[in-house]
Structure 1
Amino acid sequence: MSAADFVCYTQDYQGWKDIFYCIEPVSWAYMGVALSLGLSIIGAAWGIFITGTSLVGSAIKMPRIKSKNLISVIFCEAVAIYGVIIAIILQTRAGALIDNKAMYTDPKVYDESLFKAYAMFGAGLSVGLSNLFCGVCVGVTGAGCALADAQTPSTFVKILIIEIFGSALGLFGVIIGIIQAGKAQ
């Protein structure tokens, strides 16, 4: 019987740490995959919603801005792609956890697997949250870009540069997620 089995099945709980210790490491890893993918897609959808409504509303006044301002929607869609990339990376690492059968017999291997799973959970959470906020940021900036372009066409490029800076927040989240996922090898 491993140390994890002893703590988890004998009800010899010492506190909150034992509750987190007894949750299967693979569950933590797949929760990271789900958070990365789910929150990134929600951020992209929210940003597209914000940008799209302003774009359609502004296009009523100035039909010329429809095609030019679609780049704001593309920036929002990139946020979802960032989440998919990290989810694929985390999915392959989680598969390696499932294949490790020694985790159920050796307490040291169980602890190492739990550390890797927490790293994947943290990577998924940080990427998901950064992409959620990035999607909203790009959506609000894209909405402002559409409205400003309808009023004054010369402001389009200036606001688009600010939108690119907002989109870089999601890319920074992906870089941090790759670094965190690197701890799960």
Structure 2
Amino acid sequence: MSVPPAQVILLTGTPSAGGGKQSFFGAIGCASAIIFTVFGASYGTAKSSGAIFSAGVLRPERLMQNTICAIMAQILSIYGLVASVIIANGLEEKQPLHTSFLQLAAGISVGLCGLAAGFAIGIVGDAGVRASNQQPRLYVGMILILIFAEVLGLYGLIVAILLHSKSGTGVTDCSAF
């Protein structure tokens, strides 16, 4: 009785069992990292830019000061780029399935955290720019809330780096099964 190749890969996790197809999951993690963080950065930039320009009509002297929202949104895409490069450098044609799953988890971690942070930055930036344009004392509060929103993406990057650092050191022998 022969075991189907998919079960051999899942049970053994060895590169020779899968013919090198395990790196697919790592590649999906690499792509997820950049795709989702760029979606978050795009949303944050677009949402806050509408408020920046509409507020700039009333108070053009504050236009450059209010662009901090769009700048902070773009930092999220840098987090995704860093994670994607780290994951891509760790990809090999024949690697243990364990490594590929950790790379997938790393990419999804930074990607979804960046997406959530982008939504938060966009919404905070939109409301904050409009409010601080009417009451300039609210600007510092807006910056603090933007920092709290930005750090969500940083948490995802830290988790992604930790997951990827474990991907090369894990035990892939599943002989207990």
User: Structure 1-normalised TM-score?
Assistant: 0.80
Partners of 2:33 and 2:107 in 1: CA distance: 4
The aligned amino acid for 2:119 is: V
Q: What displacement does 1:61 show? A: 1.6
Task: Tell me, yes or no, if the aligned pair for 1:86 and 1:124 is still in contact at 8 Å.
Answer: yes
Q: Which residue of 1 aligns with 2:142?
A: 159
Q: Could you give the per-residue CA deviations for residues 117-140 of structure 1, whole angstroms, max 9, x where no partner exists?
A: 000001101110000010111111
Distance, in Å, in 1 between the alignment partners of 2:116 and 2:61 is 29
% identical aligned pairs: 24
Deviations 1:15-49 (A, max 9, x none): xx79xx96921110100000001001011001001
Residue of structure 1 equivalent to 2:89: 92
Say which of 152, 158, 163 aligns to 1:169.
152
Q: 2:60 aligns with which of 59, 63, 81?
A: 63
State the alpha-carbon separation in 2 of the partners of residues 72 and 137 from structure 1: 11
Aligned-pair distance for 1:65? 1.9
Alignment partner, residue 129 of structure 2: 146
What do the CA deviations read for 1:92-131 (whole angstroms, capped 9, x no partner)? 111xx22x4xx6xxxxxxxxx1000000001101110000
Structure 1 counterpart of 2:74: 77
Gaps of at least 5 residues in structure 1 are 104-112
Aligned residue number for residue 47 of structure 2: 50
Show structure 2 runs of 5+ residues with no match: 12-16, 169-177
**Matched residues, number:** 160
Establish whether residue 41 from structure 1 lines up as the match of residue 38 from structure 2. yes
Equivalence for 2:14: none
The separation in 1 between residues aligned to 2:156 and 2:109, in whole angstroms, is 7
> TM-score, structure 2 length as denominator?
0.84
The Cα RMSD (Å) is: 2.2
Determine the structure 2 residue equivalent to 1:31.
28
Q: Structure 1 segments of 4 or more deviating over 4 A?
A: none
Alpha-carbon separation, structure 1, partners of 2:166 and 2:108: 15
Instruction: Please identify which structure carries the higher helix content.
Output: 1
Of 114, 124, 146, the residue aligned with 2:107 is 124
Tell me the secondary structure at the aligned position of residue 64 of structure 1: helix
Which amino acid in structure 2 is aligned with residue 84 of structure 1? L
Following the alignment from structure 1 to structure 2, what is the Cα–Cα distance between the partners of residues 150 and 62?
7
Instruction: Report the CA distance between 1:58 and its aligned residue.
Output: 1.3
